[in-house]
Amino acid sequence: MLASLTGSFSQRLGILVERSRPYDSLISPIIVAVMAALAYLPWISHLGFYRDDWYQLWAGYIYGPDSIVTLFSIDRPFTGLLYSLAYRVLGPSPLPWQLYSFGLRLAGALIFLWLVRWLWPRARLMTTSMAVLFVVYPGFLQQPNANTFSNQLLTYTTGLFSIALTLAAVTAHTRARRLLLYVFSILTALAYWLNYEYMIGLEGLRIVLLWVAVSRLEFSGPRWRKVVAYWKPYFPALLAYLVWRGFIFQSGRASTDLGLIMERFTSEPLRTTLDTLLAGGKDWFETSLFAWAIPAYDYLTGAGLGEQLVGLLQGALAAGLFLLYLLWLRRAAPGRVYAHERESQAGKQAFLIGGIAIAFAVTPVVLAGRDVHWHSGFDRYTLHVTAGVAMFLVGSIWYLIRAPARPWLIAGLIALSVTTHYLNGMQWADHWRAQRELWWQLSWRAPQIQTSTVLIAEIPAGGFFEDYEIWAPANLIYSPVPGSIPITAEVLNDRTAEKIRFGSEDGRGMRVLIEFYRDYDDILILSYPSFGSCLHVIDGRRIELPRSASSVIRNIGRYSKIERVIVDGPQSRPPESIFGTEPEHNWCYYYQKASLARQAEDWIEVGRLANEVDRLGLRPSDRSEWMPFLEGYVNLERDKDAKEIANLIRQKEPIRHDLCDHLNPELYSSADRFAYVERILCEFD
């Protein structure tokens, strides 16, 4: 009965759609949009700011949007202008940036769908498959880093739009229309050239598509002459751009300095050429083939069972919807329209065009000495390769695989991609959660932080890679006014640990606006290594580390200066527009407030907080966090309560030993009180 109802519905739907042609012109974009939503929207409300977002956000928030132009003046001034305009509209809240980037990703996919439909108008299933794989391509994993990578997405979308305008100009029926389309196409080409120079490889795709376009037009003479004639309007603009970029504009970064890039080739031409060819070949295979396997394997093996199952179900849902689209297509469309799907000629063309487009796209990247690899932001160089990859991969399937198996292969790739993006989004969401928790808990613990403090911090879910991921949010909270950078930072690693042990000093300067001095005698260490503990602001005199603290933190904890925290200063508060609403006052809130009261030696306040914790029934996951309350009870001579807490800590031997190894008699009101703590916590019965 269910099959009968389904068949009847499909027949009626087919009749309805047949009467309102062109039916697939609406359905295909919807399928592309649905796939994009499944890949990128599940975690969108849980995503925030990351990596390079922070110094740009700091500049825009503190100095205003014009300062972002100044930041990018050293390497990509046009990018700074566009970023500044976007900041004026979107502001400092993460969700608008996430929606903006998603819209750009979807717009690029719809433009790409138009392009491939122009190339193969009868191959509806093949071109829809290309657009779907384009939008869910699993090699580019920076989509959640929306604030920074909206610039790349805008550039890529602009480049594809410029190419689409070129094809529209070639087939224009009037000279005036052709001229207008060429003008807009050149302007949009300039926009993407000026934004990210490594995307200039898209010109290879433009030329290849012009070759295909010319083959469909009737003319006499060699085809290449007509291609040159159609591409010739771009040459003056491209030449002007290259002269400006190579000889007039002086880049402040080696990776964007054309002179330095050329110097590598002239100093060691053979070695550099060989390295470039090898890197280009590797990147070609990585972007076209390995991108579908390596990220998926890494995320699936790194996730828990429940997370794996949810991710796989998300991927299966996307694949199922694509197969439903195929079922609808077969029932709703007349057979003659889709007969072309069984031919291999369109697949062969897509295979060749895509392969050439990939080569053109990766070439500028490797010429600049950059490389595509996973586990870092350098998968950014896969974004502008996606058009070539989608055509190459789907073209290969249509060219080499028999028709019945093609949709199943596409569905499998879709499932793999959506699963990868779901798990990727989950990791980025965890990273944002970790950052928010760090800064809200620090604001509870530290009303103010002394000027010139050097913050060292560890967090779960990704950690910090650059110092501005720490000092920028810290100054947004504690010093949101123009001027110098009063609170500095450094990332946590062995090299930094050495600087701390030696009491070194250094300076830091970047992007014109940012310059500061660091004295590693003035460090404050923040340890938040897992979601199973609260943030620990380390006091080098009484080291109470989270159980999962890193070995580097354990080695340098004694150097942390708790006096960098000003206990009696006005309360600072993270701006909610950036960090979201204040988390609920759970155990970590009371732990931070008790730690602050202990630093101020306000034992009455510690006792009050202990009473409140007891009333609410709150308990820590990490038992080392009982210590402020234990010490408060001891100093208030509430010995019975102190012994109860000591017994709870003693149940975790590793934690007890850690704490007992670092007990400091100088921090207790008397030798008797210290001896009492030693007896109830450290001695065996």
C-alpha separations of 338 from 120, 124, 146, 326, 344 in Å: 12, 7, 39, 11, 13
Q: Which of 367-371, 416-420, 552-556, 596-600 has the lowest mean pLDDT?
A: 367-371
What phi and psi, each to the nearest 5 degrees, are found at residue 684?
A: -85, 145
pLDDT band at 441 (very low <50, low <70, confident <90, very high): very high
CB contact at 8 A, 456 and 524: yes
387 exposed, middle or buried (CB, 10 Å; 0-12, 13-18, 19+)?
Answer: buried
Tell me the range of 21-35, 370-384, 648-662 where mean pLDDT is highest. Answer: 648-662
pLDDT exceeds cutoff 50 at 16 = no
pLDDT exceeds cutoff 70 at 10 = no
Stated pTM of the model: 0.90
pLDDT band at 395 (very low <50, low <70, confident <90, very high): very high
d(CA 345, CA 364): 30
Q: Which residues, listed in sequence order, are joined to residue 506 by a DSSP beta bridge?
A: 518
* Nearest-5° Cα angle at 442, 439 to 445: 155
Torsion over CA of 364, 370, 376 and 379, rounded to 10 degrees? 20
Specify the 3-state DSSP secondary structure of 507: strand
pLDDT at 25: 77
pLDDT exceeds cutoff 90 at 263 = no
pLDDT at 620: 95
pLDDT band at 341 (very low <50, low <70, confident <90, very high): low
d(CA 476, CA 339): 61
Q: What average pLDDT score do residues 232-253 get?
A: 81
Of 325, 297, 319, the residue nearest 414 (C-alpha): 319
pLDDT exceeds cutoff 60 at 322 = yes
d(CA 564, CA 539): 10
3 exposed, middle or buried (CB, 10 Å; 0-12, 13-18, 19+)?
Answer: exposed
CB contact at 8 A, 531 and 547: no
Mean predicted lDDT score pLDDT of the chain: 89
Ordered alpha helix ranges (H), 447-539: 468-478, 494-502
What residues contact 51, with CB distance under 8 A and at least 6 apart? 145, 148, 377, 465, 466, 469
d(CA 606, CA 564): 21
Ordered alpha helix ranges (H), 525-626: 551-556, 576-579, 587-599, 603-616
Q: Which residues, listed in sequence order, are joined to residue 157 by a DSSP beta bridge?
A: none
Q: 118 versus 341: which is more confidently predicted?
A: 118
pLDDT at 484: 83
d(CA 641, CA 644): 5
pLDDT at 11: 47
pLDDT exceeds cutoff 90 at 259 = no
pLDDT at 19: 41
d(CA 159, CA 146): 19
Q: What average pLDDT score do residues 609-637 get?
A: 95
d(CA 685, CA 673): 19
